[in-house]
Each structure stands twice: as C-alpha cells, then as structure tokens.
Amino acid sequence: MRTSPGSRILSVGAYRPRTRVGNDAIAARIDSSDEWIRRRSGIESRRRAADDEDLVTMATAAATKALAGAGVAPRDVSAVLLATMSYRGRATTVAPLVAAALGATNAAAMDLGAACAGFPYGLATADALVRSGAADNVVLIGAERMTDIVDDHDRGTAFLFGDGAGAVVVGPSETLGISPVVWGADGAKSELLRYAETGTLRMAGPEVFRWATAVIPPVAERALEAAGITAADLAAFIPHQANLRITTAAARALCLPPHVRVATDVITNGNTGAASIPLAMAALNGTSGPALLLGFGAGLAYAAQVVELP
C-alpha cells in the first residue's frame, strides 16, 4: 500500500440542466412575487431537470468532464463517492450506477448522506482514502434533483431549490492540497429540516437562517486555523449556496478582503443541495489558490476545509 503525504483536487466538472426557471413561474404557485423571492433569498433563477436528466445522467456528465480535465481514465479510478439527499431510484444507491456508466469497473462506489454538507464530508473521505493509500484517484460527485423532493406549492421551499451536479477528481500530492476538515453535527435541531409524510422537504426557514449564520463564522475560523492561514490568504470563499443573505453575512463576519472571490452561484442556480459547492467551484473557473469550502444543512450537519483550487 503506497501512502501519500497529501491529496489535491485535480479538476472540476459541472452539469447544469437545460431548463432555466425564473422567479415569476415559481411566484405564481406560492402567492408571491419576483421581488419577494429576490429580497428573501437573492435568487433570480434556478435550473430544473427534465425527465431525461436523472441523477445518474447528471452525475455521470459532471464526472466525465472532471476525469477529462484531470487526464484520468475511468479504469484508473479507485473509488466513486456520490453525495446526494434526493435520490429516489429503485436501486438503494446511485454511486454504483454512476461508476458503471463511467466505465470505472474497478472502483468502489458508495453514496454519502450528509445533505447539503455532503460535498465537504465526501472531500474529507476522499482525502483520507488517497493519503492512506486505499485509493489512487477518487471521483467525488455532488448531485441533486431537489425538485423531486420539494413541494411546488410550499411557500417556504419552492423558490429555493434547483437541480444539477458537480464533480471533482482527487489524487495524490506531495503537499497538502486539501487541509484538515472541521466538521460536526447538531442532531437536536434535526426537526428544522425534515421530510413531511408526503415525502417532500419541509424547512423552518428563519430558524435555519439563524443557526447557519451563527455556526458558519466559528467553523470557518477553525478551518482556516487548521490550514495554517488567515482569511487574507484566501483566493476564494465557496460556501454552500443556500441563500445569498447567508453567504453575504458569512463573508462580512469573516472580514474577507476585496481580493477574495465569494461564490454566488445561488443567484442563477438556486440551492442545489450537495451539488452546490462543486457547481459554485466550477463557476469560479480561472481562480487559483486556496479556497475555503463550507457546507451546512439538514441533520443538522456542517463541515469546512481549505483546498487548493486546480
């Protein structure tokens, strides 16, 4: 077994569904308005997956782009990890289906269930697999069809969520391209985000907002400390794209200097759950250097780490 001093993200790939849905179409179903949705969330539009854009299709497309960018062949993939909270297929997990579609026939494959914190949880897992020597190249995907689990008439959630998939390839590195993870969970507050008896997502919005804005700054500071850097050393801040107001409050609390790019993918793609961080990372194409990733959501779970952008 060959261990590695560190691991790094080799490349990023994204898949965004073809159909863009503006606020007016959503507002008509929840007795609201475009202005109300923008003021409450910062969202202007989101992507909605068509029938032929299922989770396997979107995840495979994003992972294929990431593998091409990394120059890694599917046969050289050791593991396929897929973070999702919206899979409703007949198979118990979606990762093996994606591995088969990629042609990664030698790879282990498993789903990770940490909701909107799933991507940084998965990144910590991929990093450990590579550094321990258990894997050479890991494909990590965040993929969601949130529209499958959201009630179009629920005023608290219908306007927030969108669909899509983002993927990265993680491989060995002589330096720490992925810093130690800082993570945790608060199960006592799990009722704030839960499934209703109908199988659709329900959220206590104001309470989740207060929890997120309270949790993010100290977790972010601990992640920076674990990486041995300060906010001034960052090139980018890429939090889970839950709500533009949460992102803005977090950036302000961290006193980020003007040169730090703050991901705002939520404006045009909504909250895409476990896919939101890799999708936002892909949208910052051309940015290099250290980036602070931070996921948070149902569970309630959270995780953060600093990574070197590919």
CA nearest to 67, candidates 144, 174, 175, 171? 171
Give dist(CA 143, CA 280) in Å, integer.
13
Please check whether residue 87 is in contact with residue 75, taking contact to mean a CB–CB distance below 8 angstroms: no
Amino acid identity for residue 180 in this structure? P
Burial class (CB in 10 A: 0-12, 13-18, 19+), 209: middle
CA nearest to 121, candidates 290, 309, 277? 277
| Residue 271 bears catalytic tag | yes
The catalytically annotated residue of 137, 240, 243, 269 is 240
| Residue 240 bears catalytic tag | yes
Give dist(CA 87, CA 94) in Å, integer.
7
- Cα 34 to the center of its chain, rounded Å: 26
The catalytically annotated residue of 23, 116, 243, 269 is 116
Amino acid identity for residue 178 in this structure? I
Please check whether residue 121 is in contact with residue 112, taking contact to mean a CB–CB distance below 8 angstroms: yes
Handedness of CA 242, 244, 246, 251 (dihedral sign): positive
The catalytically annotated residue of 23, 137, 269, 271 is 271
| Residue 153 bears catalytic tag | no
Contacts of residue 83, Cβ cutoff 8 Å, sequence gap at least 6: 111, 112, 113, 114, 118, 119, 121, 122, 140, 141, 142, 143, 274
Per the listing, tokens 């994204």 go with 14
DSSP code of 229?
A: -
Residues noted as catalytic:
116, 240, 271
